[in-house]
Structure 1
Amino acid sequence: MPSSLDFSNYLHAWQTSKFPVAISNSLIITGLSVVLIVLVSALAGYSIARRNKPFYNIIFLLFLSGMMIPFQVTMLPLYKLGKTLHMLNTHWGIILIYGGFGIQMGVLFYTAFIKQISREIEEAATIDGCSTPGIFFRVILPLLKPVTATVVVLNALYIWNDFLLPLLYLQDNQYRTIPLQQYFFFGQYSSDLNLAFAYAVMGMIPVIVFFLLMQKFIIKGIAAGAVKG
């Protein structure tokens, strides 16, 4: 064990790698991407689950088919599309890409969960004069907390730790996320492992705090799935 604690590497990593800028970029991209995924997936899952028509079944299959295509296949077309639409080095461009990939799995989760919710609840709300948007936001959405927690945790951890997509889309220093900024501690002829590991520890702290806050919702989701299963 060391005789004393030395935090000089953390301070040096903070100063040399623009950690405040990187963590703010990670928070903005992760937060807005997760909000987009949850909102669109919940609305799409509700429509598909409550309308048993061939058109909606086809839409559901299209969402699922997107999960079967690896990201490496669409990597170059996405880069060319981003360059054409001026989406490179922007927050909104990479947020839309993350949203498109996350919605596929989110629709699957929400559709399966909403199908297990009794229709009598919605019928009672309709009798009370509630509109369809009101039924979704006031009645159905509060019941989706367990599956929403699952979708939020899975996508937040993936987006926060992702390296390849930011490497393609965020080449400017002011838009780099934590994993991408950490990469520049490794050069062609030298590697600052001490600073890289200190940077990794600082980048892990928000994820650990987030996971601890969401832990009770994840447990509720597992328990609800076990009871309904």
Structure 2
Amino acid sequence: MPSSFDLSNYWHAWETSKFPIAITNSLIITSLSVILIVLVSALAGYSIARRNKPFYNIIFLLFLSGMMIPFQVTMLPLYKLGKNLHMLDTHWGIILIYGGFGVQTGVLFYTAFIRQISKEIEEAAKIDGCSTPGIFMRIIIPLLKPVTATVVVLNALYIWNDFLLPLLYLQDNSYRTIPLQQYFFFGQYSSDLNLAFAYAVMGMIPVIAFFLVMQKFIIKGIAAGAVKG
């Protein structure tokens, strides 16, 4: 049992592991990727849900088919594409890839949720002279809070904890995320478990804090889905 409360290992891990750079990269990549996923998924889901035409049904099936392809199958093509387009060791390159993968499930969630919203609300707004963009911004978006919380939490936790794609795309030390930097830090301090586990705890704190903040929105989303079902 420890005889006193000591934070020296955390300070040492903070100073030697480039943790501030890693957490900044993780925050930038995660936040911008989630914003991209939510915007594209909400717009695409609304268009698919409100237009019962074969073209939009085909688009919806294309999004769903992307969920059947494992990431490991696309690793080599993605790396070659990133190298040719100079996307390696950049924030925007990995953000676009995360956005492309996250939109697949995001469109599924938003389409299913919007189809449960009564069309009479939109028809009443049209009678009052509201345009389609106005209906989406003023009426639909406020109703999408439960499903948006679900999409945000699922994608944020996945992107924050992902290791394989950053390992593939981020070779430069200045672009490493927390899981990737933790991997190299563990290799360097494998014999000093005090520092290794201190870094692991610091990497978990932002995720735990984020989940606690979003927990009430997740519960509201589950309750709303249960009532609608």
CA RMSD in angstroms, aligned pairs only = 1.2
| CA deviation after TM superposition for structure 1 residue 218, in Å | 0.3
Distance change (3 Å), C-alpha of 1:132 and 1:153: same
| CA deviation after TM superposition for structure 1 residue 112, in Å | 0.2
1:120-175 Cα deviation digits (max 9, x unpaired): 11111111111111111110011000000000000000000000000011110111
Contact 1:185/1:192 (<8 A) preserved: no
| CA deviation after TM superposition for structure 1 residue 225, in Å | 0.9
- For residues 164 and 218 of structure 2, the distance between their equivalents in structure 1, rounded to whole angstroms, comes to 28
Distance change (3 Å), C-alpha of 1:219 and 1:190: closer
1:61-108 Cα deviation digits (max 9, x unpaired): 000000000000001110000000000000000000000000000000
Contact 2:37/2:103 (<8 A) preserved: yes
- For residues 178 and 36 of structure 1, the distance between their equivalents in structure 2, rounded to whole angstroms, comes to 21
Distance change (3 Å), C-alpha of 1:192 and 1:180: farther
The SS at the match of 1:76 is helix
| CA deviation after TM superposition for structure 1 residue 5, in Å | 1.6
| CA deviation after TM superposition for structure 1 residue 17, in Å | 1.0
- For residues 12 and 2 of structure 2, the distance between their equivalents in structure 1, rounded to whole angstroms, comes to 20
Contact 1:147/1:221 (<8 A) preserved: yes
Distance change (3 Å), C-alpha of 1:188 and 1:5: closer
Distance change (3 Å), C-alpha of 1:152 and 1:228: same
- For residues 193 and 58 of structure 1, the distance between their equivalents in structure 2, rounded to whole angstroms, comes to 53
Contact 2:146/2:217 (<8 A) preserved: yes
- For residues 192 and 155 of structure 2, the distance between their equivalents in structure 1, rounded to whole angstroms, comes to 30
Runs of 4+ deviating beyond 4 Å:
188-191
Larger mean Cα displacement after TM superposition, 177-186 or 143-152:
177-186
| Structure 1 segment 16-165 matched on structure 2, within 5 A | 16-165=16-165
- For residues 184 and 217 of structure 1, the distance between their equivalents in structure 2, rounded to whole angstroms, comes to 35
TM-score (structure 1 length as normaliser):
0.97
Contact 1:185/1:191 (<8 A) preserved: no
The gaps in structure 1 that reach 5 residues or longer are none
* Correspondence for 2:211: 211
- For residues 97 and 108 of structure 1, the distance between their equivalents in structure 2, rounded to whole angstroms, comes to 18
| CA deviation after TM superposition for structure 1 residue 197, in Å | 1.3
Contact 1:185/1:193 (<8 A) preserved: no
- For residues 20 and 176 of structure 1, the distance between their equivalents in structure 2, rounded to whole angstroms, comes to 11
Distance change (3 Å), C-alpha of 1:60 and 1:10: same
State the identity as a percent. Answer: 91
- For residues 61 and 131 of structure 1, the distance between their equivalents in structure 2, rounded to whole angstroms, comes to 28
Contact 1:45/1:110 (<8 A) preserved: yes
| CA deviation after TM superposition for structure 1 residue 2, in Å | 1.4
1:23-55 Cα deviation digits (max 9, x unpaired): 010000000000000000000000000000000
Distance change (3 Å), C-alpha of 1:62 and 1:35: same
- For residues 138 and 149 of structure 1, the distance between their equivalents in structure 2, rounded to whole angstroms, comes to 18
| CA deviation after TM superposition for structure 1 residue 185, in Å | 2.0
- For residues 155 and 168 of structure 1, the distance between their equivalents in structure 2, rounded to whole angstroms, comes to 19
Larger mean Cα displacement after TM superposition, 181-190 or 18-27:
181-190
Contact 1:46/1:114 (<8 A) preserved: yes
Contact 1:87/1:93 (<8 A) preserved: yes
Q: How many residues align?
A: 229
